Structure 1
Amino acid sequence: MTLALPALAPVLPTHERWFVESQPAGDWSFFLSPLPLVLTAAVVAVALVWRAVATRVDGPELRFLKPVGGLVPWIPRLLGIHLGVALLALAATGAFITPSIDHLEGAGGNALLLVEAALGIWLVTGWQLRAAAALVLGLAPALAMVAGLTALGECANLAAVAAFLVVVPPGPDAYGAAHPSRAHLRWALLWLRLGVGTALIVLAFSEKLTNPAMAIDTLERYPALDVFALVGLQVSPETFVAVAGATELLFGLLVISGAFPQVAVLVAMVPFNATLLLFGQTEMVGHLPVYGVFLALLVYGSSEETFRSVRWLPGRTARRVAVPAAA
């Protein structure tokens, strides 16, 4: 089963709006054409099978990563640093929440950037991060007013980290070690997975599967993204866009599933890091919260005490787990 994910992994994921002129999504005729539909169905099937197999494995799938699980107490502190540095760097470059929103003007725009920078500094300090994270979530209405509702979905990865810190903030000691209850950790990881997965899925549609024109424009400007050409395979731009969108959709679904987090993160980190060679600082700053989430999933997924919390879902799963605990 571990071969299913790498089969679609060669396409490098990137945020087109960060590097080319933004174009509106909504070309559903492309998504409803045969290839995108077939790839989407295959991706959903892979994610379901991936989840079903993972729930039958009682332990971290990559045992040699067990020492990584020792970082568990400090993940909230590290997530706060990732989010804080990202917000501070974005504010310093005149961007609000995401590199693509860099057109703020006037007193209102400057005020938003100052708030963003202040929250970034606050998050880096590690002091009272639950309040700081709640204020980050409070920026959502301003983001919607500036960039529209789609931007909320595309930036859900930042909200995911903030939501995690609201539920599980760092501890009060000098290093911020946190020791949450199992229930709190489960819900925090669920919000983390849902936020990042939602961002990836929305981006798959808003920048690729229903926006092929912008995706093709990005490919024309940055032909190095076409790794098919690098290995001697010639595919049409439309095929490339369909595969790229399906790949991003797959990553989103796997993050939400929480299944085999060690394998999923290690595979996803390859294309996410490869784009740094092409896009540099902008890509690194924009993806900082995602890197933090990947680290969190890898660490929690490597610990015997927390790996089950990574793939936990409310409902029937929670009741099945609760019965033995009560007994």
Structure 2
Amino acid sequence: MDRQQGRRYRAARVIGAAVLALALLPGAASAGPGAKVSSSVELARHAARLKAGQWVWAPRIAPQGPVLVYVDLSQQLATVYRNGVRIGVSTISTGKPGHDTPVGVFTILEKNVTHNSNLYDNAPMPYHQRLTWDGVALHAGSLPGKPDSHGCVRLPYGFAKELFGTTKRGTTVIVAGNARHPVTQDDGEVLAPTASGGVVEGDYWAPEKSPSGPVTIVMSRSDQAVAVLRNGVEIGRSHAVIPTNSDATHVLTLAAKAGGAPTWIYVGVSGHDDEDGRPLDEAVRNRVQIPPAFYAQVAPILMPGVTLLVTQSPLAPGGLGDAQPVLDGAR
């Protein structure tokens, strides 16, 4: 081998090593986790074996429809749904002890491709999507395999970029679970009227407080109450009878069905992957009772894209159950 051939051989080895290193990087857009896959089977296969910093994206599964982001603190995973169908899953890093990421229902308040922290040494936060005005956001950042942020939800860079292009201001983001203790899941309940009873004292309906925007319904087992939010603002509340045989979190979305009426379907949160995309069973629906007068007021705004969260957490400070009130972050 002459000198020129030797140089070419060494150059080829360097290039080959670099390509291999890139292919092995967590989140690399290659054949492994981080690739854009095109079927629910591929997505499920990749999502089941994600490691820190890895993600999978399958936008073609549901190319159109309302978007919901579900952040699971217990599993340190973020899942993206479009029209009720899971299109992306990513590992995340949320708040470390003393800087816990708040749980609750949020809407994306503002979006910036480039952003620097006002609190922590001007730290860069690419693809920043603000959830609260006091600093909690979704953004690209380091993923050490454990909760490590100051309260934000860190995402792999590639996933943060894809998510940024998929959401808009007002997109609903649900943060649930406990980063320090895994949670179990159980059958979810859904908003449905009962044949008896009227509006109880303390209930109200004030849609003028937020005339437009995405709608989220929160059902609290602790408070035995239902709250309706529009664009992150509470516009109504009612007493409800909600079974308390589980402390699980469950999420449903009202999805548009071709040629038919919108249908409540489950989203595949941790512990319920097998229910992902399954229509709601009427027997489960009937487990929850709310005053029919209140339901009649809510019904006109139940359009595709409405999100339902069933939680153990209270709806307001001072309630029973988990100390973190669900609606604190919805502002």
| Band of TM-score, shorter chain | under 0.3
- Normalized per residue, the structure richer in strand is 2
Larger Rg: 2
Normalising by structure 2, we get a TM-score of 0.23
- Normalized per residue, the structure richer in helix is 1
Give the structure, 1 or 2, with the largest relative contact order (CA under 8 Å, sep 6 or more).
1
